[in-house]
Amino acid sequence: MMTNNQKLINWVNEWAQLCQPDKIHWCDGSEAEYKSLLDGMVAKGAAVKLNDSKRPNSYYFQSDPSDVARVENRTFICTTNKDDAGPNYNWIAPDEMKNTLRKLYNGCMKGRTLYVIPFSMGPLGSKISKIGVQITDSPYVVANMKIMTRMGKAVLDTLGNGDFIPCVHSVGFPLQPGQKDPSWPCAPIEQKYISHFPETREIWSYGSGYGGNALLGKKCLALRIASYMAKTEGWLAEHMLILGITNPKGVKKYFAAAFPSACGKTNLAMLIPTIPGWKVETVGDDIAWMKFGEDGRLYAINPESGFFGVAPYTSMQTNPNAMLSLKGNSIFTNTALTPDGDIWWEGIGYDAPEGTITWTNEKFDPASGKPAAHPNARFTTPASQCPVIDSAWEDPRGVPISAFLFGGRRPTTIPLVYEAFDWNHGTFIGSVIGSEVTAAAIGLKAGVRRDPFAMLPFTGYNMADYFRHWINIGKNAPDKSALPRIYCVNWFRKDENGKWLWPGYGDNIRVLKWIFERCEGTGKAVKTEIGYLPSTDSIDISGLEDKNINLSLLLSVNKEEWKQEIDLIREHYAQFGNRLPDELADQLNELGKRLY
Report how far residue 331's alpha carbon sits from residue 47's, in angstroms, rounded to the nearest whole number. 10
Segment 31-53 mean pLDDT? 97
Domain hosting residue 256, numbered range: 238-305+391-595
Q: How many CA atoms lie within 13 A of 188 on its CB side?
A: 1
**In this structure, are 417 and 403 located in the same domain?**
yes
**In this structure, are 445 and 498 located in the same domain?**
yes
DSSP letter, residue 266 = H
**In this structure, are 244 and 341 located in the same domain?**
no
Segment 289-293 mean pLDDT? 98
573: left (phi over 0), alpha (psi -120 to 50) or beta: alpha
Segment 2-17 mean pLDDT? 96
**In this structure, are 155 and 253 located in the same domain?**
no
482 and 295 in contact (C-beta within 8 Å)? yes
If one counts every other C-beta atom within 10 angstroms of the C-beta of residue 374, the result is: 24
**In this structure, are 219 and 148 located in the same domain?**
yes
Segment 121-139 mean pLDDT? 97
**In this structure, are 499 and 544 located in the same domain?**
yes
Q: Residue 343 maps to which CATH number?
A: 2.170.8.10
Among 277, 400, 266, 259, CA closest to 323:
266
Q: Residue 415 maps to which CATH number?
A: 3.90.228.20
If one counts every other C-beta atom within 10 angstroms of the C-beta of residue 87, the result is: 13
**In this structure, are 110 and 221 located in the same domain?**
yes
Q: How confident is the model at residue 443 (pLDDT cuts 50, 70, 90)?
A: low
**In this structure, are 183 and 316 located in the same domain?**
no
pTM of the model: 0.96
88 and 76 in contact (C-beta within 8 Å)? no
129 and 121 in contact (C-beta within 8 Å)? yes
Report how far residue 247's alpha carbon sits from residue 542's, in angstroms, rounded to the nearest whole number. 16
- Residue 445 has a pLDDT of 54
Segment 154-175 mean pLDDT? 97
Structural domain includes residue 242:
yes
Q: N- to C-terminal Cα distance for the chain?
A: 69
- Residue 441 has a pLDDT of 46
Structural domain includes residue 59:
no
Residue at a domain's end among 351, 385, 419: 385
Judge whether residue 20 has pLDDT over 60.
Answer: yes
Report how far residue 62's alpha carbon sits from residue 186's, in angstroms, rounded to the nearest whole number. 13
Q: How confident is the model at residue 440 (pLDDT cuts 50, 70, 90)?
A: very low
Residue at a domain's end among 234, 264, 282: 234
Q: How confident is the model at residue 103 (pLDDT cuts 50, 70, 90)?
A: very high
Distance of CA 499 to the CA centre of its chain: 29
Residue at a domain's end among 195, 219, 234: 234
Total domains present in the chain: 3
State how far the alpha carbon of 402 is from the alpha carbons of 254, 268, 510, 535, in Å: 6, 16, 17, 21
Segment 352-377 mean pLDDT? 96
Per-residue pLDDT tens for 551-575? 999 999 999 999 999 999 999 999 9
Judge whether residue 320 has pLDDT over 60.
Answer: yes
**In this structure, are 228 and 315 located in the same domain?**
no
**In this structure, are 411 and 464 located in the same domain?**
yes
233-243 core/surface letters (b: 16 or more CB in 10 A; e: else): eebbbbbbbbb
Which of 338-352, 443-457, 577-591 has the least mean pLDDT?
443-457
Catalytic residues: 263
Structural domain includes residue 525:
yes
Q: SS3 of 367, please?
A: helix
Structural domain includes residue 60:
no
Report how far residue 556's alpha carbon sits from residue 567's, in angstroms, rounded to the nearest whole number. 20
Structural domain includes residue 63:
no
**In this structure, are 576 and 524 located in the same domain?**
yes
Q: SS3 of 229, please?
A: helix
396 and 335 in contact (C-beta within 8 Å)? no
- Residue 253 has a pLDDT of 98
For strands 525-527 and 532-534, give the pairing: antiparallel
- Residue 88 has a pLDDT of 79
Structural domain includes residue 348:
yes
Q: How confident is the model at residue 168 (pLDDT cuts 50, 70, 90)?
A: very high
Segment 117-143 mean pLDDT? 97
Q: How confident is the model at residue 547 (pLDDT cuts 50, 70, 90)?
A: confident
**In this structure, are 333 and 186 located in the same domain?**
no
Structural domain includes residue 61:
no
- Residue 446 has a pLDDT of 57
Judge whether residue 439 has pLDDT over 80.
Answer: no
State how far the alpha carbon of 457 is from the alpha carbons of 53, 66, 77, in Å: 40, 20, 11
578 and 83 in contact (C-beta within 8 Å)? no
Q: Residue 132 maps to which CATH number?
A: 3.40.449.10
Per-residue pLDDT tens for 183-236? 999 999 999 999 999 999 999 999 999 999 999 999 999 999 999 999 999 999
Structural domain includes residue 52:
no
Element (DSSP H or E) covering residue 156: helix 153-159
Report how far residue 258's alpha carbon sits from residue 566's, in angstroms, rounded to the nearest whole number. 22
